[in-house]
Structures are given as C-alpha cells and as structure tokens.
Amino acid sequence: MGPEEITAAAAVIESGHIAEGQVVKEFEDAFARKMDTKYAVATSSGTAALHLTLLAMGIGSNHEVIMPSYVCAALLNAVRYVEAAPIFAEIDPATYNIDPGDVKKRLTRRTRAIIVPHLFGLTADLDKLLALNVPIIEDCAQSVGGNFGNKPLGAFGDACIFSFYATKVITCGEGGMVICNSKKLANRIKDLKAYDQKDRYETRFNYKMTDIQAAVGLAQFAKLDAFIQRRRTIAQKYFRAFQSLSLRLPADDPAHIYYRFVVGLNTDIQLLITKLVQKGIGCARPIYLPLHHCLKLTGYPITDNTWRTSLSIPIYPSLSDQEVQRVIEAIVGA
Ligand SMILES: Cc1ncc(COP(=O)(O)O)c(C=O)c1O
C-alpha cells in the first residue's frame, strides 16, 4: 500500500458515496478487460465469489464438487454452503496443483464441477483438466495476473474467482471477484449478491464490495505487473542461492507469479520452521491443514507427505534486497 491507495480511498470518502457504486463498476470493467473476459462481478470476499458461482451454476445437494485436498478451507466451506458433497483429489507433488489423473478417477454421475486453484501462483494443468469435459471453476485467489500460454488465467474455466484479502497478490483488505463469459451466469451472480429492491423475493445475500474497497483495489491493480515482476526477481535470487542445497524448490516456470515460494525437505519440515522462526524469519506450512484432515478422511498419501515436508518462505513485493539476503543466509545456515 502506498500514497496511491490512500488518495484513492480518501477521494471516495470525500465524495460522500461509499457503498457499491461507480468505482466498483470501474474495478469490474478494468478486471474484465485485463483478464480478457466479458463479465466481472465484484464481491465481498473470494469465498463469497465461490459461493455465488456454485449457486449460479445450479450446484446443490445431491451434487459432487471436486477440489484438491491441499488448499485452504474456503473451498470446502463454499461447497458446504450449497450443501453439495466435497470430493477431494490428490495433487501433483512437483507443482502442488490438482492432479488431473486423480480427478478422473473420482468423477461420477453426480460430479457438477471441479474447482481448480492455480496454487501458490503456478498455473494448473489446464489442458488435461479441460479435456475431462466437466465444468471448471478456476480459482485465481493466489494467481492474479498469471497466464496459460499467451492468455491470462481466468478465462479457461466456466468461471474464475479471485480474492483480495490483505495477504493476497493485490488487496483491498477483503474482497473478491468472479469473471466469466456467460451473461446469464454473471447476471445471476449479480442478482444473488444484493438483496434490496427486488420484485421477486428469494434468499439472497449481502456480498457486495464497497466503493472504498474498489478504489484501493483499482490502485493495487495498476501495480499488478510491477508486483509480479518483483516477486519473480526475488524468486530468481532464491533459486540461485538454494540450487546447491538439498531443498525441493518450486517449478521454475515463466508463468509462475510466485505468490508463495515453497521449499521442501525429505523429512518433516517442523524443525526447519522452528530454526527459522528463532532467527526472526516469518515462515509456515503454506497450507494450514489439508481438507481431508478437516473431515477426518484418510487415503491421500501424496497430499499428506507434501504437507508434512513443505515450507513457505517470505516472498512479497515490499521485501527489500537486504531482507531477501537475511532469509537466504538463515536458510543456508540452518
Ligand atoms: C486458493 C484460495 N481460494 C479461495 C480463497 C478464499 O478467499 P477469501 O479469503 O477472500 O474468502 C483463498 C484465500 O485464502 C485461497 O487461498
């Protein structure tokens, strides 16, 4: 955050119109343009964006929705809000992304969608996932500004959701967005996210974004390319510094936006976390708890092993070169 966000938020406050209005519309339009989709609908969070997308796709009880187990609980919550059954899939340990081969084994007549997070900033295997011919909801909460081939991420699935939570690639404190190319889907999501002044009553939500949030979001959005560039520069410093260590490193892929820089060991990562935290380096397992643990399920050995052995180290645009060097020295010396 910098003076641009402060000026933008202040201008909205001074205007006297702070609820959802023209600035949210500007944010939506800017988003749709950059992501090359026809429609964008802003929401109060990424979870709200996913909830509304599932509802608008007509997904409910008796339906199954596939997602990786190795992801945050927001996905599980949204699927449960609509009373569908969450079905967890394994990941490819080299990319941390959902494994299309494992998804295929879990398809049934009740499968209505696959939620595909492009986890930690790396594009999932969209070719193989799209070939399954099941509706796909891309989740770009961690990969705003990523790409697949020469096209921006987000336009490959039936819809795509984003999060602008405080620690995300761009932020407005809390916030979310859905993008899609279906007018019907976009209109349904718009209708469901606000309850006031509707002629026909049905259960609706208050999932709107404010113009204050949108003003901050627009200022952040203007910095997106620079943010990603800085993330990639830091990642390359880490790659160079760690290449001779026995650490598992992320995929060195030009499409990666390095929302997280995840390193791994062959053993449990806890000892390394403890050592780094003692040296003042903030770091943690990138996924707090795999979702199959939340539901007390077993049978996900790849996810379990990845979770046990993986660590996310600091990587964000405002990290200075000296701080990057401190992280490197702490890891090399650990
Ligand atoms: C992959 C993924 N999807 C969805 C969400 C949910 O977003 P929010 O926190 O804005 O509800 C998150 C947020 O942490 C996320 O990481």
DSSP per-residue string spanning 242-298: HTTSS-B-----TT---SSEEEE-SS-SHHHHHHHHHTT---B-SSSS-HHHHTT--
Segment 303-325 mean pLDDT:
98
Torsions phi, psi for 246 (to 5 deg): -90, 55
Query: CA 101 to CA 90: how far, in whole Å?
Result: 9
Do the beta carbons of residue 52 and residue 178 sit within 8 Å? yes
Residues contacting ligand 1 via CB (< 6 Å): 45-47, 71-72, 74-75, 117, 139, 141-142, 163, 165, 176
Fold observed for domain 3-221 = Aspartate Aminotransferase; domain 2 (3.40.640)
Task: Provide CATH 3.90.1150.10 ranges for the chain.
Answer: 224-332
Residue 216 vs residues 2, 161, 209, 330, 334: alpha-carbon distances, Å: 10, 19, 11, 35, 39
Distance 132 CA to ligand 1 centre (A): 25
Do the beta carbons of residue 137 and residue 116 sit within 8 Å? yes
Smallest CA separation from ligand 1 atom 10, residue? 46
pTM for this structure? 0.98
Per-residue pLDDT tens for 213-224? Answer: 999 999 999 999
Q: In testing the pocket of ligand 1, which one of 43, 44, 47 has its CB within 8 Å of the most ligand atoms?
A: 47
Query: CA 119 to CA 125: how far, in whole Å?
Result: 11
Residue 249 vs residues 13, 88, 199, 228: alpha-carbon distances, Å: 45, 25, 55, 19
Query: CA 1 to CA 285: how far, in whole Å?
Result: 26
Distance 272 CA to ligand 1 centre (A): 26
The pLDDT-based confidence of 15 (bands split at 50, 70, 90) is very high
Per-residue pLDDT tens for 161-177? Answer: 999 999 999 999 999 99
Do the beta carbons of residue 67 and residue 79 sit within 8 Å? yes
Per-residue pLDDT tens for 237-291? Answer: 999 999 999 999 999 999 999 999 999 999 999 999 999 999 999 999 999 999 9
Smallest CA separation from ligand 1 atom 2, residue? 141
Q: Which two tokens stand for residue 132?
A: 């399954």
Q: In testing the pocket of ligand 1, which one of 164, 165, 172, 259 has its CB within 8 Å of the most ligand atoms?
A: 165
Smallest CA separation from ligand 1 atom 14, residue? 72
Architecture category of domain 224-332 in CATH: Alpha-Beta Complex (3.90)
Task: Provide CATH 3.40.640.10 ranges for the chain.
Answer: 3-221
Per-residue pLDDT tens for 185-220? Answer: 999 999 999 999 999 999 999 999 999 999 999 999
Q: In testing the pocket of ligand 1, which one of 45, 67, 72, 76 has its CB within 8 Å of the most ligand atoms?
A: 72
Segment 326-331 mean pLDDT:
97
DSSP three-state, residue 54 = helix
Distance 141 CA to ligand 1 centre (A): 6
